[in-house]
């Protein structure tokens, strides 16, 4: 009865279509999963249909990118009404911002003598919105770099010559969007934030859970986040952050049991009663 509550599809920067992801979840023996693509819900309809076909419970979700305290903070939204007008409008704006960012990066790469064709990058992105992983893949394909890691370290990563900062929601905006859409906001991978002192401030903004179980969290970090959950009566969630072939993490790693899903549903009912 395990659920992976953090996965990505081709709707954002994953390598599997939603249907392929759900099918794989069934093969791995998972009871269910949450589709939590970056700043989009476009993969959810296909995922829900696949869930019925493969008897895998699919929870509608999203992972929103925010800025807080000078750091990038990701907020997972679970059990959202993915058709909610306010959420869809905000995500459409974010998609447009991502496209504008991609065009600026392409322009910088061209000035560096590394031209890429927009259509070529879009084909790599497929159904998803163009992001830096797709640009990196195009650079590898052109032979500009040996691998994606080199593309980021030399050109696309923060501080590199082709880097362009992404426009992000504020933390408060993200939490409000998710709660307005009937969802339960959870802090994603707190260990990646870089400043543990921020976490209590994030909790005070209204999140309902913390992603305690995450591939890159150390045992000490997990214990600390568990203590925070106990102190602030938050839900301890977990997931693989599965992206497919681009990351060496298996689907279902750090999965949680049905009790966690029940806690999310209970919190939703309590919060929106």
Whether 201 maps to a domain, the answer reads yes
Domain match, 58 and 143 both? no
In this structure, what DSSP letter does residue 38 have?
B
Residues 32-79 pLDDT 10s: 999 999 999 999 999 999 999 999 999 999 999 999 999 999 999 999
The dihedral of CA 66, 184, 212, 204: what is its sign? Answer: positive
- Do 101 and 50 belong to one domain? no
| Per-residue model confidence (pLDDT) at position 44 | 98
Q: Is residue 167 part of a domain?
A: no
Whole-angstrom distance, CA of residue 218 vs CA of residue 229: 17
Residues 66 and 151 in one domain: no
Q: Are 241 and 217 in contact (CB under 8 A)?
A: no
Neighbouring residues of 32: CB distance < 8 A, sequence distance ≥ 6:
3, 4, 25, 51, 56, 57, 58, 59, 261
Helix (H, G, I), strand (E, B) or coil at 53: helix
pLDDT at 196: 80
Each residue's pLDDT expressed in tens, for the chain with a length of 273 residues: 899 999 999 898 888 999 999 999 999 999 999 999 999 999 999 999 999 999 999 999 999 999 999 999 999 999 999 999 999 999 999 999 999 999 999 999 999 999 999 999 999 888 778 889 899 999 999 999 999 889 999 999 989 999 999 889 999 999 999 999 999 999 999 999 978 889 999 999 999 999 999 999 999 999 999 999 999 999 999 999 999 877 889 999 999 999 999 999 999 998 776
Do 79 and 95 lie in a common domain? Answer: no
Tell me, what's the pLDDT at 210? 99
Cα-Cα end-to-end distance for the chain: 27
Q: For the whole model, what pTM was predicted?
A: 0.92
User: Closest by alpha carbon to 267, among 232, 235, 226?
Assistant: 235
Return the pLDDT at 272: 72
Q: What CATH number is given to the structural domain containing 268? A: 3.20.20.140
Residues counted in the chain: 273
**Measured distance CA(125)–CA(14) in Å, rounded:** 9
In sequence order, the 6+-apart residues with CB closer than 8 A to the CB of 34 are: 3, 4, 5, 6, 7, 58, 59, 60, 61, 76, 78, 239
Q: Is residue 164 one of the residues assigned to a domain?
A: no
Instruction: Let me know whether 72 and 95 are in one domain.
Output: no
Q: Are residues 152 and 209 in the same domain?
A: no
Torsion angles phi and psi, residue 165, rounded to 5: -65, 145
pLDDT computed for residue 239 by the predictor:
98
Tell me whether residue 165 is in a domain.
no
- CATH at 120: 1.10.150.650
Q: Domain tally for the chain? A: 2
Q: Is residue 66 within 8 Å of residue 73, measured between CB atoms?
A: yes
Helix (H) or strand (E) holding 257: strand 256-257
Same domain, 76 and 101: no
Which residue segment(s) compose the domain that 150 sits in? Answer: 91-156
CA-wise closest residue to 215 among 248, 244, 187: 248
CA dist 118 and 220 (Å) reads 44
Same domain, yes or no, for 108 and 233? no
**Which DSSP letter does residue 69 get?**
T
CB 245 within 8 Å of CB 219: no
CA angle 177, 183, 186 (to 5 degrees): 90
- Position 273 scores a pLDDT of 65
């Amino acid at each position: 009865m395990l659920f992976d509550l953090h996965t990505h599809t081709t709707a954002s920067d994953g390598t599997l279509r939603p249907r392929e992801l759900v099918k794989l979840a069934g093969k791995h023996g998972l009871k269910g999963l949450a589709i939590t693509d970056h700043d989009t819900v476009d993969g959810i309809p296909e995922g829900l249909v696949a869930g019925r076909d493969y008897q895998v419970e699919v929870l509608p979700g999203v992972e929103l990118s925010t800025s807080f305290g000078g750091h990038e903070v990701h907020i997972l939204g679970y059990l959202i009404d993915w058709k909610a007008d306010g959420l869809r409008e905000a995500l459409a704006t974010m998609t447009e911002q991502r496209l504008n960012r991609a065009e600026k990066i392409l322009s910088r790469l061209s000035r560096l003598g590394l031209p890429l064709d927009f259509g070529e990058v879009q084909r790599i992105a497929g159904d998803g919105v163009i992001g830096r992983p797709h640009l990196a893949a195009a650079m590898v394909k052109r032979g500009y770099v040996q691998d994606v890691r080199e593309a980021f370290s030399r050109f696309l990563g923060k501080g590199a010559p082709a880097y362009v900062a992404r426009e992000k929601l504020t933390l408060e905006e993200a939490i409000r969007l998710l709660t307005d859409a009937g969802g339960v906001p959870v802090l994603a991978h707190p260990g990646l934030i870089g400043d543990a002192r921020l976490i209590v401030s994030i909790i005070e903004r209204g999140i309902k859970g913390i992603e305690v179980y995450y591939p890159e969290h150390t045992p000490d970090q997990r214990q600390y986040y568990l203590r925070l959950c106990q102190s602030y009566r938050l839900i301890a969630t977990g997931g693989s952050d599965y992206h497919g072939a681009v990351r060496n993490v298996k689907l279902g790693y750090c999965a949680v049991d049905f009790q966690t899903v029940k806690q999310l549903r209970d919190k939703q009912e309590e919060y929106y009663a």
